Structure 1
């Protein structure tokens, strides 16, 4: 049985998950082609190799294109080069449900705010809201494999359930104006496509790092882990990390809740190891380590 073990010593987010799978051999060209097939065209995927405390990792940025770029460029940019720089900033008027706005300290000399999930994402020409049925229709409309479709639907379903629980509503009334954002859809659906490409039969995860602190959002000040994140991770085992700041995003939590089980490292033959890069600097390597092996 082919197993993916995510070693979550520094947390997990959608871009860290996708980055780790590309580092393990998932084909970004095919991922983008399948994302286009579900009507997700208004983005460019920037991928580069990055040194994080001496460890080479795959760093992902989802760049939301404006109308002119969208018409001019349906391709993506995935230069694996340490000197790669991004010609963008994330100026999309992010208003947050529970705001995941972090100052990311990239080594290529600029800082910007990049919200992984759960944010009001209103790019200039893509300001539309999505409910769960809208996202379900998108996922089912393209050329994704049955396994990738099922995985993506599971992730969004558990995310909707957590949001409904936190906000005291029902799943059919959950408004995906944040998770429906292009970058979050790319992270979640792209990860499910990559898992299918790598023929992963089972995902296991390590003990999770508990962090503390607060985040400012549209509702006021919320504690970390964010309420939806913590709702998703009921039943998971944590250890205190001693870190102030967000380590696990709702996207990362939903991926684990829907697709993974938590265990000690299994007895298996290791085939490959890959690292997905995060954007924070809390004094430890901001990395998600993916280990593929055979049980």
Structure 2
């Protein structure tokens, strides 16, 4: 482990691949990130900000089935640790003085755990009072992992297939089958593997992976920058009980395409069109007050979304709902996904990688009674295709001129036409 790892500013926009093919637990993932270069001191400081004086965190090197790894141990620093409710955990996380992305990521993980526990036990989320999320070691694992991701400047997380094990374990109410109900609830829509004996994936570990990762797949195409291995508690013969964290440059992490497909697509795209690979994030929501949606969309645009929109749908039992769709750049994906999970009531987000072909655009200012209004001009082969006044400029001018927006909009369209900005005109 490096004693003085580089700061997040030295590694902008990293992509993280989590290898959970041998299982995953919160402390294992934290150990892998520390081994990959995350500052243990920054991890400790983040946990201290949430539960001050409650735990001690130490990291040591060890070996699992011949593989070197880092084992992170979280020890209680007080005699009587409280069992906290979801509301108490939420208050602690939201009230901590931490980077906003650490708070948002940790909150999303805890909320996912709270929702699945409510489902498993058949109680409302607000009434969840459970040991798993309220436990001090789980808080340390979740907050520690989110702080480590921030220290490593991780903007995107991808995961492998998750090994969950088999058999049964002893729970508070007797023997329960593996995978335990909470793991299955958290992993709906994710690919699991029952390889191995016993419980290989814990609810905290699975919550971290399924909440923070944008999807599953093999090791993404990337420029490798660091690798870390986090050890589980047991040294299992014949199987390295570790989680691996593989870091790389985000700019090289786009999904690989076959040479044939890539060459074919590139040859059919006219040179004047701008082609970009973007992400569409979507979530179906049926339990959010409709009055909240405008602020959700505004926040997504402020966070860098290229577009965001709502589509009315009908869900099971005829319930009216909306599909929230967010179009954005790959480097903004994690931030936009976290906002969707934070600002709406959804418990899951799906991702689609899309190609966008766009006309080149430029801005031309026109004058409307002494006020500047920008005209967005889309063009192709040297000719205007569309010329559209920027509505924000129109609204600002309308306010200053004390005129209706529709009147100023008509004046802006006329000013653009007078400047020769009409479809078919030569630029």
Q: TM-score, normalised by structure 2?
A: 0.54
Change (3 A) 1:50 1:282: closer
Indicate if the aligned counterparts of 1:50 and 1:58 stay in contact, CA closer than 8 A: yes
Of 139, 147, 153 in structure 1, the residue corresponding to residue 93 of structure 2 is 139
Is 1:153 matched up with 2:112?
no
Of 53, 57, 61 in structure 1, the residue corresponding to residue 65 of structure 2 is 53
Of 46, 51, 55 in structure 2, the residue corresponding to residue 43 of structure 1 is 55
Indicate if the aligned counterparts of 1:207 and 1:262 stay in contact, CA closer than 8 A: yes
Indicate if the aligned counterparts of 2:23 and 2:243 stay in contact, CA closer than 8 A: yes
How far did 1:149 drift? Answer: 0.2
Which residue of 2 is the match for residue 166 of structure 1?
A: 120
How far did 1:257 drift? Answer: 1.7
Indicate if the aligned counterparts of 2:23 and 2:165 stay in contact, CA closer than 8 A: no
Whole-Å separation in 2 of the counterparts to 1:143 and 1:56:
35
Whole-Å separation in 1 of the counterparts to 2:100 and 2:131:
26
Whole-Å separation in 2 of the counterparts to 1:177 and 1:244:
24
Of 223, 229, 244 in structure 2, the residue corresponding to residue 289 of structure 1 is 244
Larger of the two Rg values belongs to structure: 2
Whole-Å separation in 1 of the counterparts to 2:200 and 2:101:
28
Report matched runs for 1:17-32 at 5 Å.
17-32=29-44
Whole-Å separation in 1 of the counterparts to 2:202 and 2:131:
16
How far did 1:40 drift? Answer: 3.0
Whole-Å separation in 2 of the counterparts to 1:61 and 1:291:
21
Report matched runs for 1:197-216 at 5 Å.
197-216=151-170
Calculate the aligned-residue CA RMSD, in Å: 1.4
Gaps in structure 1 of 5+ consecutive residues: 67-123
Whole-Å separation in 2 of the counterparts to 1:37 and 1:209:
32
Runs of 4 or more consecutive aligned structure 1 residues displaced over 6 Å after TM superposition: none
Larger mean CA deviation between 33-42 and 283-292 belongs to 33-42
SS class of match (1:178): helix
Indicate if the aligned counterparts of 2:64 and 2:235 stay in contact, CA closer than 8 A: no
Deviations along 1:56-82, one digit per CA (max 9) or x if unpaired, are 21101111023xxxxxxxxxxxxxxxx
Report matched runs for 1:223-238 at 5 Å.
223-238=177-192
How far did 1:253 drift? Answer: 0.7
Whole-Å separation in 2 of the counterparts to 1:233 and 1:282:
25
Indicate if the aligned counterparts of 1:40 and 1:182 stay in contact, CA closer than 8 A: no
How far did 1:265 drift? Answer: 1.9
SS class of match (2:70): strand
How far did 1:176 drift? Answer: 3.1
Greater RCO between the two (CA within 8 Å, min separation 6)?
1
**Number of residues of Structure 1 aligned to a counterpart in Structure 2:** 236
How far did 1:210 drift? Answer: 4.0
Larger mean CA deviation between 172-181 and 15-24 belongs to 172-181
Indicate if the aligned counterparts of 2:24 and 2:243 stay in contact, CA closer than 8 A: yes
Is 1:255 matched up with 2:267?
no
